[in-house]
Amino acid sequence: MADLVSPTRSNGLVDILDRVLDKGLVIAGDIKINLANVELLTIQVRLLVCSIDKAEQIGLNWWRNDPRLNMTAPAADALPSSEVEHRLQRIEAQLERLLTGGAANNAPAAE
């Protein structure tokens, strides 16, 4: 009855998954697309499957500083709000100069 409730196949899958996540698994391969002996495209595939703990042990922790994956990480291309305000003021001043200068240049000259 115990075999029907908990088949050994699922235990084997759990053991394999546990071992892969603990030790890691690397899959590497190249895909090349040729047409008439002319190489059109080469794709190099490198895949590492492991647990987060194992990844950190081998020095892979890029997700900690990636702003798309971590809300606390600062965005690399984000400007401070003071810099944004300063740029906005410069743009508005240039726009104002263009509008007032352009109106003066388009007015008919007095003779």
**Beta strands 38-49 and 25-35: pairing type?**
antiparallel
Output the pTM of the full model.
Answer: 0.40
In contact, 52 and 64? CB cutoff 8 Å: no
27-54 pLDDT, tens digit per residue, is 889 999 999 989 999 999 988 888 888 8
What per-residue confidence (pLDDT) applies to 11? 74
In the predicted structure, residue 111 carries a pLDDT above the cut 50 = no
In the predicted structure, residue 18 carries a pLDDT above the cut 60 = yes
In contact, 49 and 24? CB cutoff 8 Å: yes
**What's the whole-number average pLDDT of the chain?**
78
